Amino acid sequence: MATIVEMDPLCPVCGLGVKQPLCDAKGYAVWRCRFCASDFVWPQPSEAELKAYYDSQAYFQGGAEGSYQNYDADTEAVLPLFRELLGSFSAGEQRSILDIGCAYGTHLAAAAEMGWHACGVELSDHARKIAVARHGDKISVFASLSEIPKREYELITLFDVLEHLPDPYKIFAEMTKNGLVGEKTVIAITTPNARSSHAIANPANWEYRYPPAHLVYYSAESLQTLWARIGVGNVEVSGIYPIDHVEPSAYPDEVQGINQFSQDFAGLLCLAKDVGAEHRELTRQHTVINDFLQQLKINKQYIGRLTAEVAVQNSDLAIRDQSIANMEEYTRFLEKECEALAYQQECEALAYQQVCEALAHLQQGRLFLLKSILASDIRSWRNILRSCYRLTALMTPAALRKRLAPLVAWLRSSALLRSLLASQEKRECYEAKILQPEIQANRPKVLHVIANFKTGGSSRLVVDLFEHLGHLYEQEVVTQFDPAPPNFAGIPIHGFRKHQSQKEISAYLSRFQPELVHIHYWGSVDKPWYAKMINAIRPFGFRVVENVNTPVAPYVDACISRYVY
């Protein structure tokens, strides 16, 4: 069994801990990230073990676990795709290509024959020697990116390389640090498709699941996540090598998105263009952090040498021990100061939350409601009716209000009263429209749960999501109050008030069956209504996101997978 590196099991692509155990493959544990649709081996082998694994001839000639049976025969099918990629660049002045993980240099030799300046990087000592022996001066092959002369390449390829790297971001940081990426550089990646129907139907025996060669497994969604974190937006992902469709073809707790269009392809081709300054800045920051960690490692080694010298030099032992003791005492002092500061910040946050809750409670009191009624504008019949309704509710005993609740709810929802109020005051109604002309079929369904759908920031947010993403997601709204006349039209709105039974809400949820429930939470007096909705949603197992729109504590429930503030 390989020696493992002990670290926290976070996804190497998105950096989050939204993971589930997937399978065991050849003695390694494989995990699945539900957030970015990636798989990864954890714990991972050390860098020294990976270097020894790739240096051997056995990896390229079928003598190691997860190796090629015959490198030349196994990679011959990739050459047409590689030549097609080279042909997509316009002819003219000599262009340059950098092939990372070039192995025997087969692709670089084909590029050189087409007039390209061909340069490659290969970690394996064995493969590098074969490449030099076969192709001579026709191509240039180096052991690392740091050895390559600085220049900006028109094309950088990583064909079936990314899945071998424990940290996918390190390679892009090194490219930028060494000045190999320009604003016109195109980066081309091929990798096995971890969300193909074959990979999902049989995860442990999937033909590309062979650690320690392959450590991170990508989908179209995770490739886009990778480039988004680097800062590149112009990315094209397409499927390559068609396969027969099998079931099941998707994990039920992952949002399909673009993965559903590549289910029937064994591999993926990803082209990143217009890399630009954002990528260089992010990779520069990645390099600075790595350099800082390296410096910490050097400092730790230096401290270790000092400790050894202390043990040898008895004459200075007492003085150095005292210095170390003083340093430890100062460290403990700083730790206590940090703890005190953290406690003070926690107390301030708790006090602020208590003030907000007290203010919300005060605003629901009878005196505050009476003040708001007396201060209201009564120049319209609508406001006069509203003020009379509030005064009557204020003076009616609680027991009687409870008995009259169904009648009041019926009156408020009756067509006669709604038309009377509508006739007294005309309100402008915004007509929501999906802005994209091409609406996709079988769109994922999203349900917005919001206490009222009047004019305001939260309602406007729902309308913006409907207009700009309606061609990709089918969206509907559930609310306890949709004013008459309505503030918004064109979007499906369903009203469920507090007095309505949970059975009615469950019947609607069973019909609509959303893939995602987006709760716009306000708290305060609307908390009981939100509780009723969440109790109805919980048995269905829908994926739920709670957006906390006001400075209140969130409504915490086991069915909610993410909180947004």
Q: Say what the pLDDT of residue 75 is.
A: 84
Q: Say what the pLDDT of residue 360 is.
A: 60
Average pLDDT over residues 11-31: 89
Query: Crossing angle for the helix pair 527-537 and 502-512, nearest 10 degrees?
Result: 50
**pLDDT reading at 310 higher than 80:** no
Q: Write the CA distances from 367 to 361, 370, 405, integer angstroms.
A: 12, 5, 22
Average pLDDT over residues 291-320: 66
Average pLDDT over residues 336-355: 72
Contacts of 537 (CB under 8 A, 6+ apart): 449, 509, 517, 544, 559
Of the listed ranges 216-230, 423-437, 464-478, the least confidently predicted one is: 423-437
Average pLDDT over residues 313-326: 72
Residues 278, 352: Cα–Cα separation, whole Å: 38
Note the pTM of the prediction, 2 decimals: 0.51
Residues 533, 498: Cα–Cα separation, whole Å: 9
Q: What is the pLDDT of residues 347-392, one digit of tens each?
A: 766 766 666 666 666 655 556 556 655 555 455 566 666 667 667 7
Percent of the chain with pLDDT over 70: 79
**pLDDT reading at 271 higher than 50:** yes
Average pLDDT over residues 237-253: 93
Q: Say what the pLDDT of residue 499 is.
A: 76
Q: Quick one: pLDDT band at residue 316, thresholds 50, 70, 90?
A: low
Residue 270: phi and psi, rounded to 5, are -120, 125
Which tokens go with 179? 């000045």
Residues 377, 375: Cα–Cα separation, whole Å: 7
Q: Say what the pLDDT of residue 177 is.
A: 85
Q: What is the pLDDT of residues 32-41, one digit of tens each?
A: 999 999 999 9
Contacts of 155 (CB under 8 A, 6+ apart): 85, 86, 89, 95, 96, 97, 98, 116, 185, 186, 188
**Comparison of pLDDT for 553 and 374, the residue scoring more:** 553
Average pLDDT over residues 430-445: 93
Q: What is the pLDDT of residues 463-493, one digit of tens each?
A: 999 999 999 999 999 998 878 788 899 999 9
Average pLDDT over residues 228-245: 91
**pLDDT reading at 1 higher than 60:** no
Q: What is the pLDDT of residues 129-159, one digit of tens each?
A: 999 999 999 999 999 999 998 889 999 999 9
Average pLDDT over residues 269-293: 66
Q: Say what the pLDDT of residue 369 is.
A: 58
**pLDDT reading at 495 higher than 70:** yes
**pLDDT reading at 424 higher than 50:** no
Residues 175, 150: Cα–Cα separation, whole Å: 10
**pLDDT reading at 549 higher than 90:** no
Q: Quick one: pLDDT band at residue 96, thresholds 50, 70, 90?
A: very high
Q: What is the pLDDT of residues 372-382, one digit of tens each?
A: 555 554 555 66
**pLDDT reading at 4 higher than 50:** no
Average pLDDT over residues 330-354: 74
Q: Write the CA distances from 281 to 43, 168, 233, integer angstroms.
A: 30, 17, 14
**pLDDT reading at 293 higher than 60:** no
**pLDDT reading at 123 higher than 80:** yes
Q: What is the pLDDT of residues 162-208, one digit of tens each?
A: 999 999 999 998 888 888 998 889 999 999 999 999 999 999 999 99
CB 484 within 8 A of CB 422: yes
Of the listed ranges 49-53, 333-337, 410-414, the least confidently predicted one is: 410-414
Residues 508, 276: Cα–Cα separation, whole Å: 48
**pLDDT reading at 342 higher than 90:** no
Average pLDDT over residues 102-123: 94
Q: Write the CA distances from 331 to 238, 296, 334, integer angstroms.
A: 54, 17, 5
Q: Say what the pLDDT of residue 300 is.
A: 64
**Comparison of pLDDT for 275 and 101, the residue scoring more:** 101
Q: Quick one: pLDDT band at residue 288, thresholds 50, 70, 90?
A: low
Tell me the residue length of the chain. 565
Q: Quick one: pLDDT band at residue 6, thresholds 50, 70, 90?
A: very low
Across-strand partners of 98? 119, 156
Q: Say what the pLDDT of residue 525 is.
A: 78
